[in-house]
Amino acid sequence: MDLLAEVFSFVFQAADVFAFLVLAASGLAIIFGMMGIINLAHGEFIMCGAYVTVITVQTGMPLPLAILCGALAAGLIGIALERTIIHRLYERPLDSIVATWGISLIVTQGTLLALGSTWPGIGTPAGTFLVGEYTYASYRLVLIGSAIAVLVLIYWVFMKTRYGVFARATMQQPAMARALGVRTPIVYSVTFGIGAALAGLTGGLFAPTMTLIPMMGMTFIVEAFVTVVVGGADVLLGTAPAAIVLGVIKAALTAWYGQLFGQIGLLITVVIVIRVLPEGITGWLTRRRA
Amino acid sequence: MQATLNRGARALLGAAAIASFMIASAQAQQDPIKIGLLEDQTGEIAIFTLPKVRGTILAVEEINAAGGILGRQIELIDYDPQFDNAKFQEFARRLLQKDKVDVLFAGATSASREAVRPIANRFDALYFYTNQYEGGVCDANVIATGAVPEQQFSPLIPWMMERFGGRVYTIAADYNFGQISAEWTRVLVEEGGGEIVGEELIPLGVSQFGQTIQNMQKAKPDWIMALTVGASQDSFFEQAHAAKLGIPMASSIRIALGFEHKRFAPPALQNMYVTANWYEEIDREDANAFKARWRKRWPDETYINQMGHNAYAGIYLYKKLAETAGTTDKDAIRKVIASGDACIDAPEGRMCVDPKSQHLSHTITLLSVNEDHSIKTHEKWDKIEPYWLASVGCDLTVKDHNDQYTPSYLPEK
């Protein structure tokens, strides 16, 4: 039983890191991985989802609905942003860095001015379970389940629906897609909106477990980029395996030597992956431009 | 003939010199005293450090309305270093070199203080560091007005060990504050016959603590020393509560600095034990008047934290020192400190500057958080001296050490 509890503990913690990485990265995998926009404002979509979720809960809405509101809000803002700014940047990946970074700064500082430096939390939904002598928050299971659901959803939307075919065609051969009658500007907007909505969903899901501050997106963005970079060019087949590998490495090192080594291990893994697999960000960028 | 002319010319020159000197000094009487302020107004810890800016502004406005310092108005020059130590250095240089401030107030984190300190040394400027910290700075340019380990850990750790037991797990932010505070915890726990059953240093910006909570459940400590820093790391408390960790915690920076009891839904911070020189729930006449003035000036303040209080009191301490010295000159001010009679009545109570270390005595309260996140006070110590530096050989009245000491790094005898 003791051994079983230890094994469960390890699997659970690895799955917990996996969930964090998948949720942090999923929206970025679409916007950065598929569309080629290096979106440094990804964290701000997450922050937006978190704030909307918490505020709607505080007006009396149940948490699951509030999380969907958060995702919806982020998605709509994403579409608006795509229509006004991002659509000018599809051929200019390096400029997209500067533009989205600027958006990120404006949004964090704007939130700071409008809503103050911190917002009261709503608390994690109650419920714990016991395995061996370890207690776990049941809500972490919701996070793990949501991460898997998001992966299935992305797979279904992009592989099984008509929109998915249009989207993949538009990203790979925009001219040909247009020639065949796909209204590519709309596909771009919707795809960007889906990415933003997934980021908002992540914010909503993690909002009850975290401190709400305007800069909270920062804690997601490193892990998000790390996961997408390790995942490589193929979004659908890349993000999940990357999150599993990184999750296991980080959980093992954190259990062994503490958070510091977990973090170091994560980053060393990325360095090795970029070195061994020439699918790193630079190689990817040049291929895209060529 | 020649001689008379010379004498006449000299007299004329002399008169001109005296006249211009008089004009200069008359001008100096009207020139404002410049106070330079560097506190993070954006970034990871801005929610805690913004009250420092507000406290400073409040003190400056009050003093200016009452006639200023030495009859001169105060001009506050502040920049936002954005939680970036390189910007702290850049702006510190700018304040001292270009703006020519009379005194520098800067930094919340110990990392930013150690970034600014060498610059204050190079310009030989007077530098007020108003945060509580891990202690040990023995530097003639620095007046450290916050509480130090002998004022926070020395009362807190034995009390926790007596109440809960001697097995302690430390989590600390991975930079000089966390590392040295963890060392103090180790030293004091072992002195008391206890044992450190786990110690984890956590990089700034980490927000997920599932595995750390598991590590704690495995180590089964009697209590946890929680020295995490920044809004991301604070998510630990929510996550520990959600996992029903249920182990009492102690800290030198919770509640009074981070007002976690106002930011998290109750009862996430229940059973947190803290020693502090200021917390908003303090109930003294002076303190209540101060809180009322603050809330009138800044009605939206979530919590008047210790950083805000210390920043406010720091300006009044500078006023007291400059007025006793009769000048803003650093050496004259240090002579006032050396006299051992530099005290002010701050909202927390009376505090005095220790001549040897240039640190302050403080009134310290041991408090804990109730289930509904109200505050319970357990013990109060009046006027705890910052004795440790002097006891290991730091005496700034004799020699400028220009160094920071820790239990494992002591001054050479």
Report the DSSP beta bridge partners of residue B167.
Answer: B195
Cross-chain Cβ contact A258/B231 below 8 Å: no
pLDDT at site B5:
45
Q: Tally C-beta pairs within 8 A across A and B.
A: 129
- What would the two tokens of residue B58 be? 């409040």
Query: What is d(CA B153, CA B180) in angstroms, rounded to the nearest whole number?
Result: 12
Which residues on chain A are in Cβ contact (under 8 Å) with B174?
A: 260
Cross-chain Cβ contact B218/A134 below 8 Å: yes
Residue of chain A minimizing CA distance to B235: A210
Cross-chain Cβ contact A112/B243 below 8 Å: no
Report the DSSP beta bridge partners of residue B365.
Answer: B276, B380
Is B85 within 8 Å of chain A by CB? no
pLDDT at site A94:
87
Query: What is d(CA B358, CA B140) in angstroms, rounded to the nearest whole number?
Result: 8
Pick from A208, A211, A259: which is nearest to B234 by CB? Answer: A211
What's the order of all strands across the beta sheet hosting B74-79?
B74-79, B33-38, B103-106, B127-129, B142-144
pLDDT at site B1:
41
Cross-chain Cβ contact B210/A17 below 8 Å: yes
The alpha carbon of residue B41 is apart from the nearest alpha carbon of chain A, in Å, by 9
Q: Please provide residue A121's backbone torsions phi and psi, each rounded to the nearest 5 degrees.
A: -80, 175
Q: What is the pLDDT of residues B206-262, one digit of tens each?
A: 889 999 999 999 999 999 999 999 888 989 999 999 999 999 999 999 999 999 998
Which residues on chain B are in Cβ contact (under 8 Å) with A262?
A: 211
Cross-chain Cβ contact B218/A120 below 8 Å: no
Q: What is the pLDDT of residues B121-163, one digit of tens each?
A: 999 999 999 999 999 999 999 999 999 999 999 999 999 999 9
Residue type, B311: A
| Cα B255 → chain centroid | 15
Give 10-residue mean pLDDT values along chain A (290 residues): 85 93 92 87 96 96 96 97 92 89 93 84 87 90 95 91 92 90 93 96 95 88 87 72 87 86 89 72 45
Cross-chain Cβ contact B46/A215 below 8 Å: yes
Cα angle for residues B295, B350, B329 (degrees, 5° grid): 90
E strands, chain A, in order = 128-131, 134-137
Is B302 within 8 Å of chain A by CB? yes
- What would the two tokens of residue A243 be? 């999150």
Q: What is the pLDDT of residues B168-191, one digit of tens each?
A: 999 999 999 999 999 999 999 999
Is B215 within 8 Å of chain A by CB? yes
pLDDT at site A284:
47
Is B371 within 8 Å of chain A by CB? no
Cross-chain Cβ contact B201/A259 below 8 Å: yes
A→B contacts (Cβ < 8 Å), by residue, are: 9, 12-13, 16-17, 20, 108-109, 112, 116-118, 120-124, 128, 133-137, 139-140, 208-211, 213, 215-216, 218-219, 222, 251, 254-255, 258-260, 262-263
pLDDT at site A116:
78
pLDDT at site B81:
94
pLDDT at site A283:
43
pLDDT at site B15:
52
Cross-chain Cβ contact B42/A215 below 8 Å: yes
Alpha helices in B194-342 (DSSP H): 210-219, 235-242, 260-263, 285-297, 306-325, 330-338
Cross-chain Cβ contact B46/A123 below 8 Å: no
Cross-chain Cβ contact A140/B210 below 8 Å: yes
Predicted-complex ipTM score: 0.83
Burial of B372 (0-12, 13-18, 19+ CB in 10 A): exposed
- What would the two tokens of residue B47 be? 């929610």
Q: Which residues contact A104 (CB under 8 A, 6 or more apart)?
A: A40, A41, A43, A44, A217
Q: Are A203 and A68 in contact (CB under 8 A)?
A: no
Which residues on chain B are in Cβ contact (under 8 Å) with A20?
A: 208
Give buried/exposed letters for B108-124 (b at 16+ CB in 10 A, else e). bbbbbbbbbbebbbebe
Looking at per-residue confidence, does B286 or B413 come out higher? B286
DSSP state of B112: H
Cross-chain Cβ contact A124/B241 below 8 Å: yes
The alpha carbon of residue B204 is apart from the nearest alpha carbon of chain A, in Å, by 9
The alpha carbon of residue B196 is apart from the nearest alpha carbon of chain A, in Å, by 15
Pick from B44, B235, B244: which is nearest to A128 by CB? Answer: B244
Which residues on chain B are in Cβ contact (under 8 Å) with A112?
A: 42, 46
In 3D space, the residue among B323, B378, B312 whose CA is nearest the CA of residue B351 turns out to be B312
Residue of chain A minimizing CA distance to B198: A258
Pick from B211, B235, B300: which is nearest to A262 by CB? Answer: B211
Which residues on chain B are in Cβ contact (under 8 Å) with A122?
A: 265
Is B207 within 8 Å of chain A by CB? yes
Tell me what the pLDDT averaged over chain B comes to: 91
Q: Which residues contact B90 (CB under 8 A, 6 or more apart)?
A: none
Pairing status of strand B33-38 against strand B103-106: parallel
Query: What is d(CA A14, CA A20) in angstroms, rounded to the nearest whole number?
Result: 10
Q: Torsion angle of alpha carbons A15, A17, A19, A22, nearest 10°?
A: -130
B191: how many CB neighbours lie within 10 A of its CB? 13
DSSP state of A29: I
Cis peptide before B267 (omega within 30 of 0): yes
Cross-chain Cβ contact A120/B262 below 8 Å: yes
Which residues on chain A are in Cβ contact (under 8 Å) with B218?
A: 134
Is B228 within 8 Å of chain A by CB? no
Residue of chain A minimizing CA distance to B44: A215
Which residues on chain B are in Cβ contact (under 8 Å) with A9?
A: 214
The alpha carbon of residue B207 is apart from the nearest alpha carbon of chain A, in Å, by 7
Pick from B174, B235, B265: which is nearest to A260 by CB? Answer: B174
Q: Are B213 and B221 in contact (CB under 8 A)?
A: no
Which of A23, A106, A219 would you mutate first to test chain B, the one with the most B CBs within 10 A? A219
pLDDT at site A282:
37
Which of A18, A51, A115, A215 would you mutate first to test chain B, the one with the most B CBs within 10 A? A215
Cross-chain Cβ contact B235/A210 below 8 Å: yes
Entry field: residues in chain B: 413
